[in-house]
A and B are shown apart, each in its own frame.
Chain A
Amino acid sequence: MKRIFILLLAIVAVATGASAKKMSDLKIYINPGHGGYTGNDRPIQIYPFERNDTAGYWESTSNLYKGLHMYHILDSLGAKPYLSRIKNTEDDDRSLSGIAAEANNLGVDLFFSIHSNAGENVNTPLMLYRENEIGVPRYEGNVTLSKIMWKNLYSSKLPIWTRDKEYVVGDLDFYQNMWQGGLGVLRTLYVVGLLSEGSMHEHRPEAHRLMNDDVLWLEAWHFVKSIMEYYDTEDRFVNGNVAGIVYDDHNLREFVQPANFTMFGRDANAPLNGSPIELVDDKGNVVQTRTTDNMYNGAFVFRNVAPGNYTVRAGHDGYYTLEKAVTVTANEVTYQDMPLTLKREFPFEITAYSPKAAEGELVSCSETLKFEFNTDVDVEAFEAAFNINPALEGYFTYSDSYRKAEFHPALSLERNTHYTITIAKSAKHTDANYSHPGMNEDLVFEFTTLDRNRLELLSNFPADGGEIHMASPTLEFRFDATVDSKTIFDTFKVTDSNGKELAINTRNTGYNKLSNGFGNIIYALNDDLEEGKTYTVTLDGELRDRTNLPLGNTVSLTFTAIDATHAGKDAEVVETFEASTAMFSYSADDSKGISGSANSIRSKESLFGTGASKMNYKFASQREGVATWKYNGEPVIFNNGDELGVHINGDFNGHELQVLLTSGTDVKVASLGELDFRGWNYRTVKLDMLEAGFPYVLTGMRLVQTTSPITQNGSFIIDNITRVSDSAGVSAVASDDAAFQAWPIPATDVINASAPAEVSRLTLINAAGATVATTEAASIDVTTLSAGVYFLHIESTDGREATLRVAIR
């Protein structure tokens, strides 16, 4: 049966033309990608080199050395390799099409381009092959060999890979929508051609590794091994290799170099430069030696080791020597990392700690507990030795390669609390070889905290269940202290009724705009709200003030979006603010307690149309300030019993807004309430305070300061002013006595009047309330008066009187 099977295999082999090949049959063109020291040659700045230092990392260099190694390995196996370049100088940058043309000319069996890839926070091999069109490989062999290459590159355990899924892609597919024609170096090939992105050189630990010649050699070895597999050659590597990384088993990379980059696995540990490593055979003979380079990779490869059992021995000044047994297999790589333990032949000490409060000094509740050590601490032992009384939930962080520790209370220290911290002497370093790794004695220290341990929310808009105008919505929270801007976005969330989160406009969001140490956040939302929809706001308890004290409790509230333009829509609009000039002007004479000058400007931030009036103010102190703005628009008349409405965009400062109405010398004040809201709101006031029978004109707005330390300055905007008249027929006559008459209306020369008895006096009053003419006759001359609306006060000899509205043309 076995014979028959072998015979069948032979027949199949003949039928398919498959036959084992020798490496000496192969002609292979090697293209170390890039070439030279320009921007296209992919420099990556690594410690300790300056940017673009040619001694530092360049992809053009690592590609070249991989290519040279590949050339020599192939050559040693009898294959015929060609190289597109053999050096790296400024001039070495030949054309991609010239490289392909040369490979075509030479009639090689395989074209292989060597690269590494960009990608700082990931690390994976990538194989690209030539496609005729997207999804259609030039040769099936392109794909087969690419898969073998990827598998073998991924088998290397010197890098830390971040992706375990095969990554083999056609070049047109990979570069679609980016470039015409795919990879230039593969475009015109008629032979099997592929390009290897062996690893990610932007990933800094990998860039450090790619500075190591052993690492480059091993990648080249994997290239050749893949070719052997693909061609199913008789030749295979008769020897194996031993590879690994020498690193500190506890100290982090930051212990030996600046390391503010992404690291995975043992790449986070300190690689050890200059470590001697020996490969010792089973007879005790040192058969190969290596010394790790000074490029912060700790990498070593014992190359071409005869199969058998060995010991890898690694040491380093100040470290314990480590030995590991390995077995070497032909055509394989045996990986053996060498994590070395630093000698710490001294007891563990806490060299500094905080807070250290002086006698009677109280500690902020936002403090964390900080410790510094004489060496890297055993984290588990330290945390077990730590005790805080009274107990407090929290967590530890470590820095400076475990030479510093910090205990962070989950929220904060409790206020008015006396704490005792104990670090038991069981806290130790990690040198288990040393007989007394712990402390000589316990460390105990105490402190008492201040009486404030939370950021306090004082007020918020909207209130729970409140309303917000749907357009350009803003929400405000006010606190007893200024907030830490770093925490304001991560802690705030608005969701609609479907749970969808609304985007925050970070650019328009403001914070800490209040006075006297109070803080606030005015969150602006990116998009308008939907009228009638309910939204939920959460402000997480992790919001912190500038001393790091937390809000503590999460604030949650709901509000409803409204359209503020709907309010007052049935009222008569008596001022639209659409004129090109400001309708109000600040009156210093009628104001007090103002710092500098308040003002009023025409604003485009309108609710209706394109214009509104914006009032800016700044009170000088925390109380008794009054800011007054005079109205300069066309006269607007109000009578007793009318309702006056104003659309107001409030500033949430809580000051009272008043309307000033004047008739003659009589000035009445109507309150629109406190500006305890943000965004547009419609406020109305019933004008029952006006003297019945007398017309009042709008003469100004007044803001009366509410005593508060929080804010002294602000601004608000007003748009359409409305009126709902108490009597629709009041248009001409302000009296209910029809016996009072005036004519003609409008008048041009004189106005005549009649009364129930005889007219005893006529008084003509302008829209500002000033008397402009009087007479004891029954008619009054108006020829010298300006056109407009006036009020004619008629007194009758029987003691009765009335006021009629008249117009002069």
Chain B
Amino acid sequence: MKHRLLAAALTIGLAIGAYGELPLKPLNLPAGAHHPVLSPDGTTLLYSTDTHDGLKAMNMATGETSLIDAGAAAGFNPVFTTDSRTVYYRTAEMKDNLLYRDVRSYSFDTRNMHKVSPMSRDKVDMAAFRGGNYAVDDYNTIRVSLDGKDVSVNPIADSHSYLWASLSADNKQLLFSEPFKGVFIADADGSNARRLLRKGDNPTWAGEHTIVAIITHDDGYVVLDSRLVAVDTRSGEITYLTPEDMLVGEATAAGDGTVVVADVTGNMFIFNLND
């Protein structure tokens, strides 16, 4: 798997990125590529624009890119099935200034898009399309689905809300962010919450005992600095992965340590934590 990723990187271009000596290799994507999402098996990279317009895919083995859907908001939180062969996503449109969203799926095998449900203002449980075990944040709770049983948990007693909840590969640990308190891991049932970072966006599993997250600082209007870090979930050790002069926008990771990171202007880079 790692070999295939590296092959893709070689195909795409191995020039060291503009960020000093860190092993950031630029992905040869059109300017303005944002919101990367790696498939569970790491073979496909989904990406969009900063405002989530359209959904595109890159074959990580060949570097080939393809348009999945040009719809508005299609790039917001697409959900891969556990076999990485299908992605579920929603497109949005403003009708009479109200937000409507549908549900669509795309098969990487047939290369066909399928409309799952029509435009509506209804809430849809997108995580359910994933299959298998999963965790998903639901504003002021986290819903954990384990072996077909759904449980809502509230790991932080006085939480404001939750974001970016996910389960570890072994389904034993829950990773999430409470926006005012930081990034935590807990047992899958929400118990024993332990803070990894005082602040962090988009925390993502990047290995059995490793997560990556984005630490940003702003002045209330604009982002002043934004760096990707890796955290060892056992020791709590934090490692900065991107240089100070890079404003990180978003990032995604796969369990083998592959990380794709986009800066705020839409340049995307790939590296592996194990390199």
Contact = CB atoms under 8 A, between A and B. Distances in A.
Interface of A: 17-19, 21, 25-27, 33-35, 40-42, 59-60, 82, 84-86, 91-92, 94-99, 101-102, 104-109, 115, 130, 132, 138-139, 141, 175, 178-185, 187-192, 230-231
The SS class assigned to the A binding surface is loop
Given A91-B181, A181-B265, A184-B222, A17 B96 contact: yes
B168 to A, nearest CB: 21
A190 B51 contact: yes
Given A21-B98, A91-B181, A109-B99, A188 B51 contact: yes
B240 interface: no
Contact of B199 (A95, A132, A175): A95
B238 to A, nearest CB: 17
B260 to A, nearest CB: 16
A181 B95 contact: no
Contacts of B181: 91
The SS class assigned to the B binding surface is loop
Given A107-B123, A108-B99, A40 B265 contact: no
A125 to B, nearest CB: 16
B219 interface: yes
Interface string B168-200: 000000000101110000000000000000010
B88 interface: no
B223 A96 contact: yes
**Candidate in B160, B199, B202, B222 with the most chain A CB atoms within 10 angstroms:** B222
A95 B218 contact: yes
A280 to B, nearest CB: 41
A96 B51 contact: no
B254 interface: no
A99 B76 CA distance: 14
B220 interface: yes
B143 interface: no
Contacts of A26: 98
A98 B163 contact: yes
A91 B121 CA distance: 34
A109 B52 contact: no
B12 interface: no
Nearest to B248: A97
A184 B139 CA distance: 21
Nearest to A26: B98
A129 to B, nearest CB: 13
B101 A107 contact: yes
B92 interface: yes
A405 to B, nearest CB: 47
B97 A180 contact: no
B65 interface: no
B244 to A, nearest CB: 14
B222 A132 contact: no
Interface of B: 34-35, 50-53, 72-73, 76-77, 92, 94-99, 101, 121, 123, 137, 139, 160-161, 163-164, 177, 179-181, 199, 201-202, 214, 216, 218-223, 247, 249-250, 264-265
A105 B221 contact: no
Given A181-B222, A190-B72, 4 more contacts: A96-B222, A107-B92, A180-B223, A180-B247
B216 A97 contact: yes
Contact of B223 (A41, A132, A184): A184
B201 A95 contact: yes
Contacts of A27: 99
B51 A189 contact: yes
A100 to B, nearest CB: 10
B98 A25 contact: yes
A27 B164 CA distance: 21
Nearest to A179: B222
B123 A181 contact: no
A35 B34 CA distance: 27
B180 A94 contact: yes
Given A40-B219, A95-B201, A107-B101, A102 B161 contact: yes
A175 B214 CA distance: 23
23 contacts: A17-B96, A18-B96, A26-B98, A33-B220, A40-B220, A85-B180, A96-B223, A101-B163, A106-B139, A107-B92, A107-B99, A107-B123, A109-B98, A141-B94, A179-B222, A183-B221, A183-B222, A184-B218, A187-B264, A188-B34, A192-B94, A230-B97, A231-B98
Nearest to B122: A107
A141 B52 contact: no
A395 B218 CA distance: 53
Contact of B216 (A92, A96, A105, A191): A96
A195 to B, nearest CB: 8
B87 to A, nearest CB: 17
Nearest to A101: B163
Q: Closest 5 A-B residue pairs measured CB to CB? A: A94-B179, A34-B220, A179-B222, A190-B73, A181-B264
A98 B92 CA distance: 20
A99 B199 CA distance: 13
